[in-house]
Protein backbone atom coordinates (compact mmCIF):
# COMPACT_ATOMS: atom_id res chain seq x y z
CA UNK A 1 0.00 0.00 0.00
CA UNK A 2 2.44 2.64 -1.22
CA UNK A 3 1.28 6.03 -2.48
CA UNK A 4 4.68 7.42 -3.47
CA UNK A 5 4.44 10.26 -6.02
CA UNK A 6 0.64 10.27 -5.81
CA UNK A 7 -1.41 13.41 -5.20
CA UNK A 8 -4.52 13.02 -3.06
CA UNK A 9 -7.40 15.23 -1.97
CA UNK A 10 -9.15 14.27 1.26
CA UNK A 11 -12.35 16.15 2.12
CA UNK A 12 -13.46 16.66 5.69
CA UNK A 13 -9.78 16.32 6.57
CA UNK A 14 -9.66 18.54 9.66
CA UNK A 15 -10.76 15.79 12.05
CA UNK A 16 -11.93 12.22 12.44
CA UNK A 17 -11.63 9.77 9.55
CA UNK A 18 -10.56 12.48 7.13
CA UNK A 19 -7.64 13.62 9.25
CA UNK A 20 -6.51 10.06 9.95
CA UNK A 21 -6.70 9.31 6.22
CA UNK A 22 -4.72 12.39 5.24
CA UNK A 23 -2.04 11.57 7.81
CA UNK A 24 -1.76 7.96 6.66
CA UNK A 25 -1.65 8.89 2.96
CA UNK A 26 1.20 11.30 3.69
CA UNK A 27 3.07 8.58 5.59
CA UNK A 28 2.66 6.31 2.58
CA UNK A 29 4.29 8.91 0.33
CA UNK A 30 1.41 10.93 -1.10
CA UNK A 31 1.24 14.70 -1.38
CA UNK A 32 -2.04 15.53 0.32
CA UNK A 33 -4.55 18.35 0.00
CA UNK A 34 -6.62 18.58 3.17
CA UNK A 35 -9.98 20.15 2.31
CA UNK A 36 -12.36 21.33 5.03
CA UNK A 37 -14.58 24.26 5.98
CA UNK A 38 -12.84 24.55 9.39
CA UNK A 39 -9.83 26.72 8.57
CA UNK A 40 -8.11 26.57 11.94
CA UNK A 41 -8.37 22.80 12.38
CA UNK A 42 -7.52 22.19 8.72
CA UNK A 43 -4.38 24.33 8.87
CA UNK A 44 -3.31 22.59 12.09
CA UNK A 45 -3.79 19.17 10.51
CA UNK A 46 -1.74 20.13 7.45
CA UNK A 47 1.00 21.67 9.57
CA UNK A 48 1.17 18.50 11.65
CA UNK A 49 1.87 16.50 8.49
CA UNK A 50 4.48 18.95 7.24
CA UNK A 51 6.19 18.88 10.64
CA UNK A 52 6.93 15.20 9.96
CA UNK A 53 8.64 16.05 6.69
CA UNK A 54 5.67 15.14 4.49
CA UNK A 55 3.90 17.10 1.76
CA UNK A 56 0.54 18.66 2.65
CA UNK A 57 -1.47 21.81 2.11
CA UNK A 58 -4.79 22.96 3.51
CA UNK A 59 -7.56 24.17 1.19
CA UNK A 60 -10.78 25.77 2.40
CA UNK A 61 -13.81 24.13 0.82
CA UNK A 62 -17.51 24.05 1.60
CA UNK A 63 -18.47 20.90 -0.30
CA UNK A 64 -21.99 22.27 -0.78
CA UNK A 65 -20.61 25.04 -3.00
CA UNK A 66 -19.69 24.03 -6.54
CA UNK A 67 -17.20 26.89 -6.96
CA UNK A 68 -15.37 25.92 -3.75
CA UNK A 69 -15.05 22.34 -4.95
CA UNK A 70 -13.81 23.35 -8.38
CA UNK A 71 -11.20 25.62 -6.76
CA UNK A 72 -10.19 22.77 -4.43
CA UNK A 73 -9.31 20.55 -7.39
CA UNK A 74 -7.61 23.44 -9.17
CA UNK A 75 -5.51 24.12 -6.06
CA UNK A 76 -4.35 20.51 -5.88
CA UNK A 77 -3.30 20.44 -9.52
CA UNK A 78 -1.79 23.91 -9.32
CA UNK A 79 0.35 22.98 -6.33
CA UNK A 80 1.37 19.42 -7.22
CA UNK A 81 0.84 19.24 -10.97
CA UNK A 82 -1.67 16.40 -11.08
CA UNK A 83 -4.40 14.52 -9.19
CA UNK A 84 -4.46 10.76 -8.62
CA UNK A 85 -6.69 10.15 -5.57
CA UNK A 86 -9.87 11.65 -4.15
CA UNK A 87 -11.38 10.64 -0.82
CA UNK A 88 -14.93 11.96 -0.49
CA UNK A 89 -15.23 11.92 3.28
CA UNK A 90 -16.88 15.21 4.32
CA UNK A 91 -20.31 14.76 5.89
CA UNK A 92 -22.92 16.46 8.04
CA UNK A 93 -25.13 14.50 10.44
CA UNK A 94 -28.37 15.83 11.93
CA UNK A 95 -30.27 13.54 14.29
CA UNK A 96 -33.96 13.32 13.36
CA UNK A 97 -36.69 10.91 12.38
CA UNK A 98 -38.24 11.33 8.94
CA UNK A 99 -41.18 13.43 10.16
CA UNK A 100 -38.92 15.53 12.40
CA UNK A 101 -36.55 16.38 9.54
CA UNK A 102 -37.02 19.93 8.31
CA UNK A 103 -36.59 20.89 4.68
CA UNK A 104 -33.58 22.96 5.71
CA UNK A 105 -31.91 20.04 7.49
CA UNK A 106 -32.64 17.74 4.56
CA UNK A 107 -31.08 20.21 2.15
CA UNK A 108 -28.04 20.81 4.37
CA UNK A 109 -27.23 17.10 4.60
CA UNK A 110 -27.95 16.46 0.93
CA UNK A 111 -25.79 19.39 -0.16
CA UNK A 112 -22.69 18.08 1.63
CA UNK A 113 -23.20 14.33 1.94
CA UNK A 114 -24.30 13.59 -1.61
CA UNK A 115 -24.08 16.67 -3.80
CA UNK A 116 -20.59 17.32 -2.46
CA UNK A 117 -19.50 13.86 -3.60
CA UNK A 118 -20.97 14.61 -7.02
CA UNK A 119 -19.18 17.97 -7.29
CA UNK A 120 -15.80 16.62 -6.16
CA UNK A 121 -15.95 13.63 -8.48
CA UNK A 122 -17.13 15.77 -11.39
CA UNK A 123 -14.07 18.03 -11.20
CA UNK A 124 -11.55 15.38 -10.11
CA UNK A 125 -12.24 12.78 -12.81
CA UNK A 126 -10.99 14.84 -15.80
CA UNK A 127 -7.73 15.51 -13.93
CA UNK A 128 -7.35 11.81 -13.09
CA UNK A 129 -7.89 10.89 -16.73
CA UNK A 130 -5.21 13.40 -17.72
CA UNK A 131 -2.89 11.81 -15.14
CA UNK A 132 -3.40 8.37 -16.67
CA UNK A 133 -6.00 7.13 -14.17
CA UNK A 134 -6.83 7.39 -10.52
CA UNK A 135 -8.83 6.20 -7.57
CA UNK A 136 -11.88 7.69 -5.86
CA UNK A 137 -12.82 6.45 -2.40
CA UNK A 138 -16.31 7.45 -1.26
CA UNK A 139 -17.20 7.31 2.42
CA UNK A 140 -20.70 5.87 2.74
CA UNK A 141 -21.96 4.23 5.94
CA UNK A 142 -23.53 1.10 7.33
CA UNK A 143 -26.64 3.29 7.36
CA UNK A 144 -26.55 3.24 3.58
CA UNK A 145 -27.30 -0.48 3.88
CA UNK A 146 -29.58 -0.71 6.93
CA UNK A 147 -32.02 1.68 8.56
CA UNK A 148 -31.82 3.88 11.64
CA UNK A 149 -35.12 5.70 12.18
CA UNK A 150 -33.35 8.53 14.02
CA UNK A 151 -31.04 9.20 11.08
CA UNK A 152 -33.46 8.82 8.19
CA UNK A 153 -32.13 11.56 5.91
CA UNK A 154 -28.50 10.82 6.71
CA UNK A 155 -29.01 7.18 5.74
CA UNK A 156 -30.79 8.16 2.55
CA UNK A 157 -27.82 10.16 1.32
CA UNK A 158 -25.31 7.52 2.38
CA UNK A 159 -27.33 5.04 0.32
CA UNK A 160 -27.15 7.48 -2.56
CA UNK A 161 -23.36 7.43 -2.33
CA UNK A 162 -23.39 3.67 -2.93
CA UNK A 163 -25.48 4.09 -6.09
CA UNK A 164 -23.31 6.97 -7.29
CA UNK A 165 -20.16 4.92 -6.64
CA UNK A 166 -21.36 2.11 -8.87
CA UNK A 167 -22.51 4.38 -11.70
CA UNK A 168 -19.24 6.32 -11.66
CA UNK A 169 -17.15 3.14 -11.55
CA UNK A 170 -18.92 1.75 -14.61
CA UNK A 171 -18.77 5.07 -16.45
CA UNK A 172 -15.08 5.86 -15.97
CA UNK A 173 -13.42 2.48 -15.54
CA UNK A 174 -12.53 2.39 -19.25
CA UNK A 175 -10.54 5.60 -18.69
CA UNK A 176 -8.59 4.15 -15.81
CA UNK A 177 -10.53 5.67 -12.92
CA UNK A 178 -11.49 3.26 -10.15
CA UNK A 179 -14.32 4.18 -7.75
CA UNK A 180 -15.09 2.30 -4.54
CA UNK A 181 -16.85 3.09 -1.31
CA UNK A 182 -16.49 2.23 2.36
CA UNK A 183 -19.41 1.61 4.71
CA UNK A 184 -18.14 2.10 8.25
CA UNK A 185 -20.16 1.47 11.36
CA UNK A 186 -19.79 3.89 14.26
CA UNK A 187 -16.33 5.46 14.46
CA UNK A 188 -14.81 7.33 17.37
CA UNK A 189 -15.01 10.77 15.76
CA UNK A 190 -16.30 14.16 16.97
CA UNK A 191 -19.52 13.62 14.97
CA UNK A 192 -20.23 10.29 16.69
CA UNK A 193 -19.33 11.77 20.07
CA UNK A 194 -21.97 14.45 19.45
CA UNK A 195 -24.43 11.63 18.73
CA UNK A 196 -23.61 10.00 22.06
CA UNK A 197 -23.81 13.34 23.86
CA UNK A 198 -27.44 13.75 22.80
CA UNK A 199 -28.36 10.85 25.10
CA UNK A 200 -29.38 11.51 28.73
CA UNK A 201 -26.46 9.30 29.86
CA UNK A 202 -23.77 9.45 27.11
CA UNK A 203 -21.44 6.90 28.71
CA UNK A 204 -24.20 4.36 29.22
CA UNK A 205 -25.39 4.92 25.67
CA UNK A 206 -21.86 4.42 24.32
CA UNK A 207 -21.61 1.12 26.20
CA UNK A 208 -24.98 0.05 24.79
CA UNK A 209 -23.82 0.82 21.25
CA UNK A 210 -20.54 -1.05 21.82
CA UNK A 211 -22.54 -4.11 22.85
CA UNK A 212 -24.22 -4.21 19.42
CA UNK A 213 -20.91 -4.97 17.70
CA UNK A 214 -19.40 -8.43 17.36
CA UNK A 215 -16.09 -6.86 18.43
CA UNK A 216 -17.82 -5.07 21.35
CA UNK A 217 -16.43 -1.69 20.37
CA UNK A 218 -16.69 0.94 17.70
CA UNK A 219 -13.88 1.71 15.26
CA UNK A 220 -11.03 4.16 15.57
CA UNK A 221 -10.51 6.60 12.65
CA UNK A 222 -7.17 5.03 11.76
CA UNK A 223 -8.83 1.68 11.14
CA UNK A 224 -11.04 3.18 8.45
CA UNK A 225 -8.08 5.11 7.04
CA UNK A 226 -6.24 1.82 6.48
CA UNK A 227 -9.08 0.60 4.25
CA UNK A 228 -9.12 3.91 2.37
CA UNK A 229 -5.38 3.55 1.76
CA UNK A 230 -5.89 0.04 0.39
CA UNK A 231 -8.58 1.24 -2.01
CA UNK A 232 -6.51 4.25 -3.08
CA UNK A 233 -3.40 2.19 -3.76
CA UNK A 234 -2.48 -0.32 -6.44
CA UNK A 235 -3.00 -3.07 -3.85
CA UNK A 236 -6.67 -2.92 -4.92
CA UNK A 237 -5.96 -2.54 -8.64
CA UNK A 238 -8.79 -4.86 -9.78
CA UNK A 239 -11.44 -3.39 -7.48
CA UNK A 240 -13.96 -0.87 -8.71
CA UNK A 241 -17.64 -0.37 -7.95
CA UNK A 242 -17.08 -2.24 -4.68
CA UNK A 243 -18.87 -1.60 -1.39
CA UNK A 244 -16.52 -2.45 1.46
CA UNK A 245 -18.30 -2.90 4.78
CA UNK A 246 -16.06 -2.06 7.76
CA UNK A 247 -18.47 -2.32 10.66
CA UNK A 248 -17.05 -4.71 13.26
CA UNK A 249 -19.77 -7.23 12.44
CA UNK A 250 -22.66 -4.85 13.12
CA UNK A 251 -24.70 -5.63 10.01
CA UNK A 252 -23.96 -9.37 10.19
CA UNK A 253 -26.43 -9.82 13.03
CA UNK A 254 -30.10 -10.66 12.70
CA UNK A 255 -31.08 -9.75 16.27
Identify the CA nearest to 141 among candidates 188, 94, 89: 89
Is 172 part of the annotated catalytic residue set? Answer: no
8 Å CB contact between 88 and 113: no
Q: How many CB atoms lie within 10 A of CB 53?
A: 7
String of b and e for 179-216 (b: at least 16 CB within 10 Å)?
bbbbbbbbbbbeebeebbeeeeeeeeebeebeeebeee
- Cβ atoms of residues 180 and 240 within 8 Å: yes
Radius of gyration of the chain (CA): 17
Residues contacting 24, CB < 8 A, separation 6+: 222, 225, 226, 228, 229
Rounded Cα distance, 220 and 250, in Å: 15
CA angle 187, 121, 34 (to 5 degrees): 55
Considering the candidates 58, 80, 154, 195, report the single residue annotated as catalytic. Answer: 154
HEC profile for 144-186? HCCCCCCEHHHHHHHHHHHHHHHHHHHHHHHHCEEEEEEEECC
Q: Which run of H or E residues covers position 195?
A: helix 190-197
Active site residues: 154
Amino acid sequence: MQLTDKVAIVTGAASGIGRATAELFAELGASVVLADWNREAGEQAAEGIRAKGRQAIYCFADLAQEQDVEEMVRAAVGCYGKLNILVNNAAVQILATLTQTSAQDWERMQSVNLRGVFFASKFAIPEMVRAGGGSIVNMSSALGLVGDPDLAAYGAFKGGIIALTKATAVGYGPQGVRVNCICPGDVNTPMVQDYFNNAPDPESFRNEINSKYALRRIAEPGEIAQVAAFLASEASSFMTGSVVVVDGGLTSKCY
